């Protein structure tokens, strides 16, 4: 069968080329630039010819190919090229079909209609305000007659080095040169108009495939005047659907599903057109064999695959257009710009519900009008537990992949803890920390390259595994049969190392910490930490947060370091210094306990309020002088008083066969919070 030549300068031309090749019709698609070549994948039936040709060269090319017919799918404004194609077909005696892009101006209101870019520029000479020019790089030279055009005109052109260089020579550079491949969604058009404060949008009537109505609607939403360059007169031709039907008859093609076009070449489908589908696919361990059947089907059905390089390599057996990215905003923008793809599959490692990028993708894609689908995968945790024969329904899940995690406290309080590890030395650091905090006898299993041929699982105590060599991405399962479930509170005074430093007694600690109403993620200051008894109690409750123990005496700081290891709370940070100076470089607190102020109470509270105007405070004092300072602060500083209580405690002391009560010094406990927002 003789080949069909398609001058494929539009999305319709590329779509038609791929459709015919899929029907095993030999096709030669002619594109003018190397960039256009990248938009088509050659195969057994599809050949791509790159380079501009004049009419004589086109004639020779058509004769050489012995084409059955030629389809002119060039841009509506590419008048000269279209004339050359038609003339070449006349000279070579080859059938010529003109594919016309659909035109619809029925909904255009309040637009300035001009016959050329020159006429548009002449109109703009008498206006003020920024301009978004979307008429193509070849037309940009016409805008240079505008006063201050380098600052006023924002040119949106194709993203090729050749185009960018030519635009720069004309004076379009920096933020005034936008190199992107269209067509563009209504939201993206509107965002650009607003970003650059454009009062005018100059465009050609490019039809649905060129995202024309998306520009029209965006201009209306952004309150920008639309300047429309009308189409030049065209030869008679056929709509896309008509061209397909003609080709079916001419080439004797069997009837079948009509090639998708309206969705594929429309930047923002109307409500009557089906939505584009974006599927978030959990790829499991990252191998083709390890994916679920549903994941494989989603990949095979997709028009475009998006994901990190490792994910795309796993799906490499399925030849599809792809985009290497993992940033949700970049992914969302790429999908919005490339409306030629109806079905997009975003590939994510493991399972989309287990420390996955899916959550941020849901947020980034929300409101874009897509149908979002989800395909679960096998997480590395489930895979590792399966290999070890360990049930995972009672596992505490953690991840240090791009985040902080208090693994020591999780291991202390759970019989099974699983963690995703990312840093190169994260396994060694984990083993070292477990030993440092009294967990030397737990069993650790490390999974590497799970699902691949060189998969490796190592098990042993922290000391046995510490000297091994491990990859960057690993998963750990830590088993502690001696774990203490629940949150420890009201710890006995005798359990702390005390030395000569003052210590808040257990009853007062329990009451004071409860008044703070800590959350698991709290960032807490303990000002005047002493031995760290209150610090430890707070750290046990804020297991996923950070507690800063501020203490001016070095001896006491050393005691806090020892006590934090006894109780397994590595998220305590000891700061040796005098408040408020010692607080300067610390992050903003959500809560603060003040047990000692060294006479700087007002300055300390002012510092806390500056860092967080709504910080929650609990202040303990035993002297009347200090309670006087506190009440003065409540009057003069932006604080909301909740309560002031005086607590008197008496403890029994055994004397012979009797118990006598011995009273302790009364303690004032003040609870308040910042009155800011």
Per CATH, domain 381-479 is 3.30.950.10? yes
Q: How confident is the model at residue 271 (pLDDT cuts 50, 70, 90)?
A: very low
What's the pTM?
0.52
One-character DSSP codes across 413-429: H-SEEEEEE-STTHHHH
Beta bridge partners of 347: 281
Indicate the CATH number for domain 111-229.
3.40.50.620
CA distance 129 to 156: 17
pLDDT above 60 (res 257): no
Give the list of residues 6+ apart from residue 475 with CB closer than 8 angstroms, or none.
Answer: 380, 381, 384, 418, 419, 420, 421, 446, 447, 450
Q: What is the pLDDT of residue 254?
A: 59
The strands making up 111-114's β-sheet, listed across from edge to edge, are 111-114, 225-229, 198-204, 130-133, 153-157, 177-179
**How much of the chain exceeds pLDDT 70, in percent?**
92
What average pLDDT does the segment 264-272 reach?
35
Return d(Cα 328, Cα 76) in angstroms, integer. Answer: 35
Q: How far apart are CA 244 and CA 106, in angstroms?
A: 26
- Two domains, one topology: 381-479 and 493-674: no
**In this predicted model, which residue has the larger pLDDT, 517 or 653?**
517
Predicted confidence (pLDDT) per residue in 135-160, tens digit: 888 889 999 999 999 999 999 998 88
Q: Lowest mean pLDDT: which of 207-211, 439-443, 575-579? A: 207-211
What average pLDDT does the segment 519-525 reach?
94
* pLDDT exceeds 70 at position 106: no
Q: What is the DSSP pairing of strand 616-621 with strand 667-674? A: antiparallel
Can you point out the beta strands (E) in 552-629? 572-576, 591-594, 616-621
Is residue 209 pLDDT above 80, yes or no? no
> What's the pLDDT band for 306 if we cut at 50, 70, 90?
very high
8 Å CB contact between 67 and 61: no
The per-residue pLDDT for 207 is: 66
Report angle CA 617, 622, 624 to the nearest 5 degrees.
100
Contact 474, 427 (CB under 8 A): yes
pLDDT of residue 105: 58
Looking at every residue in the chain, the average pLDDT score rounds to: 87
What is the pLDDT confidence band of residue 18, given thresholds at 50, 70 and 90? confident
- Out of 41-55, 208-222, 480-494, 575-589, the most confident range is 575-589
- 153 in Cβ contact with 131 (< 8 Å): yes
The CA-atom distances, in angstroms, between 572 and each of 58, 98, 238, 525, 609 are 76, 74, 74, 10, 22
| Sign, CA torsion 159/165/166/171 | positive
Task: Give the 3-state secondary structure percentages of the chain, helix then strand then coil, rounded to 5.
Answer: 35, 25, 40
DSSP state, residue 608 = H
Higher-confidence residue of 2 and 562: namely 562
Least confident range of 96-105, 292-301, 466-475: 96-105
Question: What is the mean predicted confidence (pLDDT) over 596-623?
Answer: 94
Residue with tokens 């118990």: 659
Report the alpha-carbon distance of residue 237 to residue 98 in Å, rounded. 5
Mode of pairing for the β-strands spanning 523-527 and 546-551: parallel
Q: Are 510 and 576 in contact (CB under 8 A)?
A: no
Token pair belonging to 137: 């790089």
What's the topology of domain 285-370?
Answer: Cobalt-precorrin-4 Transmethylase; domain 1 (3.40.1010)
CA distance 528 to 537: 15
Q: Please check the confidence at residue 231 and state whether its pLDDT lies above 90.
A: no
Q: What is the mean pLDDT of residues 667-671?
A: 94
Question: What mean pLDDT is predicted for residues 592-614?
Answer: 94
User: What is the rounded distance in angstroms from the CA atom of residue 644 to the CA atom of residue 622?
Assistant: 13
CA distance 560 to 537: 12
Query: At 598, which helix (H) or strand (E)?
Result: none
Q: What number is the average pLDDT over the span 152-170?
A: 90
Chain position carrying tokens 């650091």: 429
Please list, in sequence order, all residues whose beta carbon lies within 8 angstroms of the beta carbon of residue 443, skipping any fewer than 6 positions away.
459, 460, 461, 478, 479
Tell me the pLDDT band of 264, cut-offs 50, 70 and 90: very low
Mutual angle of helices 328-337 and 358-365, in 10-degree steps: 40
CATH architecture of 493-674: 3-Layer(aba) Sandwich (3.40)
The one-character DSSP state at 284 is B
Question: Which pLDDT belongs to residue 552?
Answer: 93
Contact between 640 and 675 under an 8 Å Cβ cutoff? The reply is: yes
Residue 626 has pLDDT above 80, yes or no: yes
- Domain 4-101+237-251 sits in CATH 3.40.50.150: no
Q: Where are the domains of the chain?
A: 4-101+237-251, 111-229, 285-370, 381-479, 493-674
How far apart (Å, rounded) are the C-alpha atoms in residues 86 and 72?
8
Give me the pLDDT at residue 269, please. Answer: 36
């Amino acid at each position: 069968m003789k080949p069909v030549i398609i001058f494929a300068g539009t999305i319709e031309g590329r779509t038609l080329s791929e459709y015919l090749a899929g029907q095993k019709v030999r096709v030669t698609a002619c594109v003018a630039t190397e960039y256009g070549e990248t938009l088509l994948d050659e195969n057994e039936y599809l050949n791509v010819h790159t380079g501009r040709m004049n009419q004589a060269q086109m004639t020779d090319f058509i004769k050489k190919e012995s084409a059955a017919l030629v389809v002119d799918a060039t841009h509506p404004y590419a008048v000269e090229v279209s004339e050359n194609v038609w003339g070449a077909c006349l000279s070579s005696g080859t059938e010529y079909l003109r594919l016309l892009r659909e035109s619809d101006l029925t909904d255009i209101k309040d637009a300035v209609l001009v016959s050329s870019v020159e006429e548009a520029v002449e109109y703009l000479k008498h206006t003020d305000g920024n301009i978004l020019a979307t008429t193509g790089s070849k037309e940009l030279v016409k805008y240079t007659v505008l006063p201050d055009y380098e600052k006023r005109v924002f040119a949106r052109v194709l993203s090729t080095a050749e185009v960018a260089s030519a635009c720069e020579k004309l004076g379009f550079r920096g933020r005034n040169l936008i190199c992107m491949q269209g067509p563009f969604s209504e939201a993206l058009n509107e965002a650009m108009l607003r970003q650059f404060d454009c009062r005018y949008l100059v465009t050609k009537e490019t039809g649905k495939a060129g995202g024309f109505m998306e520009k029209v609607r965006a201009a209306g939403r952004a309150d920008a005047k639309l300047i429309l360059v009308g189409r030049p007169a065209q030869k008679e031709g056929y709509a896309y659907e008509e061209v397909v039907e003609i080709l079916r008859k001419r080439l004797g093609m069997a009837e079948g599903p009509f090639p998708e076009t309206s969705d594929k070449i429309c930047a923002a489908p109307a409500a009557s057109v089906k939505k584009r589908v974006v599927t978030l696919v959990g790829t499991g361990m990252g191998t083709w064999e390890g994916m679920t059947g549903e994941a494989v089907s989603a990949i095979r059905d997709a028009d475009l695959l998006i994901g990190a390089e490792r994910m795309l390599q796993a799906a490499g057996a399925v030849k599809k257009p792809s985009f290497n990215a993992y940033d949700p905003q970049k992914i969302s923008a790429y999908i919005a710009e490339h409306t030629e793809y109806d079905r997009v599959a975003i590939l994510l490692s493991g399972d989309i519900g287990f420390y996955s990028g899916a959550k941020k993708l849901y947020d980034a894609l929300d409101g874009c009008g897509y149908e979002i689908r989800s395909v679960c995968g096998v997480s590395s945790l489930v895979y590792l537990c399966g290999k070890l024969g360990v049930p995972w329904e009672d596992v505490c899940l953690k991840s240090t992949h791009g985040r902080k995690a208090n693994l020591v406290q999780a291991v202390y309080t759970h019989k099974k803890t699983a963690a995703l590890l990312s840093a190169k030395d994260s396994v060694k650091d984990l083993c070292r920390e477990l030993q440092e905090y009294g967990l030397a006898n737990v069993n650790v299993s490390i999974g590497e390259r799970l699902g691949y041929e060189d998969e490796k699982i190592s098990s042993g105590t922290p000391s046995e595994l510490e000297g091994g060599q491990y990859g960057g991405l690993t998963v750990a399962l830590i088993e502690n049969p001696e774990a203490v479930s629940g949150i420890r509170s009201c710890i006995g005074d005798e359990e702390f190392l005390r030395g000569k430093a003052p210590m808040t007694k257990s009853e007062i600690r329990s009451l004071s910490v409860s008044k703070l109403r800590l959350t698991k993620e709290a960032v807490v200051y303990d000002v005047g930490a002493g031995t760290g008894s209150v610090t430890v109690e707070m750290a046990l409750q804020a297991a996923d947060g950070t507690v800063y123990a501020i203490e001016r005496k070095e001896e006491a700081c050393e005691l806090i370091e020892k006590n934090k290891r006894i109780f397994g709370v590595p998220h305590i940070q000891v700061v040796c210094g005098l408040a408020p100076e010692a607080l300067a470089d610390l992050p903003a607190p959500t809560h603060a306990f003040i047990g000692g102020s060294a006479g700087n109470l007002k300055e300390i509270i002012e510092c806390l309020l500056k860092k967080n105007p709504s910080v929650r405070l609990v202040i303990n004092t035993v002297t009347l002088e200090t309670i006087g300072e506190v009440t003065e602060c409540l009057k003069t500083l932006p604080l909301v008083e909740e309560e002031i209580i005086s607590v008197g405690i008496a403890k029994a002391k055994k004397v012979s066969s009797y118990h006598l009560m011995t009273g302790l010094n009364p303690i004032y406990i003040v609870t308040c919070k910042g009155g800011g927002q």
